[in-house]
Amino acid sequence: QQQVKQSPQSLIVQKGGIPIINCAYENTAFDYFPWYQQFPGKGPALLIAIRPDVSEKKEGRFTISFNKSAKQFSLHIMDSQPGDSATYFCAASMNTGFQKLVFGTGTRLLVSP
Amino acid sequence: ETGVTQSPTHLIKTRGQQVTLRCSSQSGHNTVSWYQQALGQGPQFIFQYYREEENGRGNFPPRFSGLQFPNYSSELNVNALELDDSALYLCASSLSSGRVNRELFFGEGSRLTVL
């Protein structure tokens, strides 16, 4: 119940394409869903986050779609660029006295020129 | 404003040894969390410190311990190192313990190799 399942494991798109990464969860107590981007040798960097009271959130070229009834959420990267090539992690947390993020297993994205 | 800084960046230990990793939180952040990231995996929550007290812990044995200092910096200590402890150890800081502001900011990590 504490897991967040992420797919696909890896993804290759051409420049300008729209990669989509999907995540699913079971625990309905989760109420915060961030996405992190990680480059090799670096720590994860927060990209965008959503709470379950909205179905979509956009920040620049990044969009989160959220389906509360299906317990699924996804990241879309518009007009993808080679510089977007990185590993992307979805995560989830619940409203407790401490901040524990449960991460997905990651998606390695390659954007070809 | 300085970000989260960790030291050392890389280190090699042998099985059975002890290691201490250090973290300085982002300016203004009073909460520090530690995560373990094995190769090819997502980070796993170890514990969180708020106001110098551990206030949350993941599924890690007691040989993983920590401290938070009055300036909000933190240490992660691992005793009796095992081969499976080889991983990237990430420190993350946040503005609060987690009820209101959920944003976590990660450092670049300390890469531990246990031989």
- Give CA separation, B46 vs A80, B14, B105, in Å: 34, 21, 16
Say if the Cβ atoms of B48 and A100 lie within 8 Å: yes
Say if the Cβ atoms of B42 and A97 lie within 8 Å: no
Say if the Cβ atoms of B104 and A46 lie within 8 Å: yes
Query: Of the candidates B56, B90, B108, which has its C-beta nearest A97's C-beta?
Result: B56
> How far apart are the C-alpha atoms of A22 and A74, rounded to whole Å?
4
CA B93 distance to own-chain centroid: 10
Mean pLDDT of chain B: 92
Residue burial A25-37, b: 16+ Cβ < 10 Å; e: rest: beeeebebbbbbb
Task: Name the residue type at position A16.
Answer: G
Q: Is the dihedral of CA B20, A86, A84, A54 positive or negative?
A: negative
Average pLDDT over residues A62-89: 97
Alpha-carbon Rg of chain B, whole angstroms? 13
The label of the residue with tokens 């890690």 reads: B60
Model confidence at B96: pLDDT above 80: no
List residues bridging with A11 in a β-sheet.
A109
A95 touches chain B (CB under 8 A): yes
pLDDT digits (tens, 9 = 90+) for B11-59: 999 999 999 999 999 888 889 999 999 998 999 999 999 989 998 999 9
Q: Please report which confidence band the pLDDT of residue A99 belongs to, taking 50, 70 and 90 as the band edges.
A: confident
Which CATH number characterizes residue A8's domain? 2.60.40.10
Total structural domains in chain A?
Answer: 1
Closest CA to B80 of B19, B29, B30, B38: B19
Which residues of B are less than 8 Å from A96 in CB distance? 56, 98-99
Q: Which domain holds residue A24?
A: 4-112
Q: Please report which confidence band the pLDDT of residue B98 belongs to, taking 50, 70 and 90 as the band edges.
A: low
Model confidence at A91: pLDDT above 80: yes
